[in-house]
Amino acid sequence: MEPNLSLKPLLEDFWWPVVENRQTLETIRITAEYSALECLKSGVTLINDILEAPFATAGRRLLTEEAVLRRAGMKGVLSLESNERISTENGDENLRENQDFILNMRETGSRDIRGTICTHTTFSCTVPFLMKAAGMAREMDEYIQIHMNEGPDECQCCYDRYGMTTAELYKKIGFWNGGKAWANQCSCMEPVELNIMGQMGVGISTQPRSNALCNAGIAPVADMLKNGIRVGLGTDNGEGNFYENMRYLSLFQMGKNYTKYALEPLKAFEIATELGAKGLGYGDVGRLQPGYSADYQVLTGDAAIHLRDYSVVGEVFWRKDPVDVKEVYVNGQLVCKDGRAVNLDDARIRREFKDCLTEFWRGQPFQLER
């Protein structure tokens, strides 16, 4: 039996009760470790993660993820999804954990790992709750991030409930007035929404492969860029090959806009590196030049063509994969070599992850058989 892949029914019937509600500190640790392995294999050095675990032990959820990232030697922006689908009290508790985590990370004196305020959607949060979260972010001079318009469900819900688009509602209630905002997904967007978000400085993370797998559409990334929006590249279903994800990003825009110039390789690289980092408030990450953090990867020199200065980007973009990543550095420190994390126990993590999956899904609905 397969779940309904329209977003709202998928959340209500499957994702919330079967996945999010059953997360514990142990599953958070194991999946964070496994995700770190997969990211490092692809050369990823900075992540932005929204943790969805409303019933795991309060006060320790984000700290559990942070401990994994520090051990791995990675950078990250971490947050806990906060909404009212369970209760307003549960949502408030999660907001407070975000707030406490932000303060804890500031006390370290380093911006390598930061926190943000995080809510969810206009159908899982009331306007007063959204305004409270936004006010908290403004008071702390910190980013606020959301899921937004992942397919047509939220668009329709917002029209039905408020008589306007999602972005128009956020503008009306002053949700983005702090100037530090990040929206994830955004695969179903009206032109007026992109105009609003561009004017208000809201960044967007696009998940091309994940959105396609969930029938959520193709985000209008080319139009986002035309509106001056800072776009980053992400995933929402665990794929570990970020080179492939970059190619999906570019190819989908070529097909959607009927031109190979809609999103060329160099711009896709920028989205996956510097542009996404800037959208999250990092002005010294994502480029190899003086004054920037020494976060980079070393690739094999094998090439299918005779390389020239003008053909290097295309060769790397279209033909490289995680298997070609030989070394990964963060702040000039080696964190991954030949596909294996330097500071993590690869064999133990993969064994624990496999055992965790077996136990987690035992007897659960929607087991996909192929």
Tell me the CATH number at 274.
Answer: 3.20.20.140
Starting at the edge strand found earlier in the chain, the sheet holding 181-185 runs 117-118, 144-148, 181-185, 202-206, 231-233
Assigned token pair, 97: 């954990």
- Specify if 324 maps to a domain: no
Structure confidence at residue 309 (pLDDT):
85
d(Cα 341, Cα 12) in Å, to the nearest integer?
A: 36
* Residue 290 forms part of a structural domain: no
In the numeric block, the tokens 């972005």 are attached to 167
* Rounded distance between C-alpha atoms, residue 192 and residue 174, angstroms: 16
H helices of the chain, where?
A: 7-10, 25-41, 61-72, 88-107, 127-140, 152-162, 166-172, 191-200, 208-213, 221-226, 242-257, 265-270, 276-279, 312-319, 346-360
Q: How far apart are CA 139 and CA 178, in angstroms?
A: 9
Residue 160 lies in a domain: yes
User: Is position 38 within any domain?
Assistant: yes
Phi, psi of 265 (to 5 degrees): -50, -45
Q: Within a domain: residue 293?
A: no
Instruction: Give start and end residues of each alpha helix (H) in 304-344.
Output: 312-319
**Measured between alpha carbons, how far is 369 from 330 in angstroms, rounded to an integer?**
40
Residue 300 falls within a domain, yes or no?
A: no
By residue count, the chain amounts to 370
Give pTM, 2 decimals. Answer: 0.94
Q: What is the pLDDT of residue 1?
A: 46
Residue 18, H or E segment: none
**pLDDT recorded at residue 215:** 86
CA distance 183 to 189: 12
Total tally of structural domains belonging to the chain: 1
The tokens describing 196, both together, are 């609003």
Question: In Å, how far from its chain's centre is CA 183?
Answer: 9
Task: Return per-residue pLDDT of the chain as tens, 370 residues.
Answer: 454 557 888 899 889 999 999 999 999 999 999 999 999 999 999 999 999 999 999 999 999 999 999 999 999 999 999 999 999 999 999 999 999 999 999 999 999 999 999 999 999 999 999 999 999 999 999 999 999 999 999 999 999 999 999 999 999 999 999 899 999 999 999 999 999 999 999 999 999 999 998 889 999 999 999 999 999 999 987 778 999 999 999 999 999 999 999 999 999 999 999 999 999 999 999 999 999 999 999 999 888 778 888 889 999 999 999 999 999 999 999 999 999 999 999 999 999 999 999 999 998 876 544 4
256 assigned to some structural domain: yes
Q: What is the DSSP secondary structure assignment for residue 285, as one 8-state letter?
A: -
Domain extent at residue 142: 7-281
In a domain, 348, yes or no: no
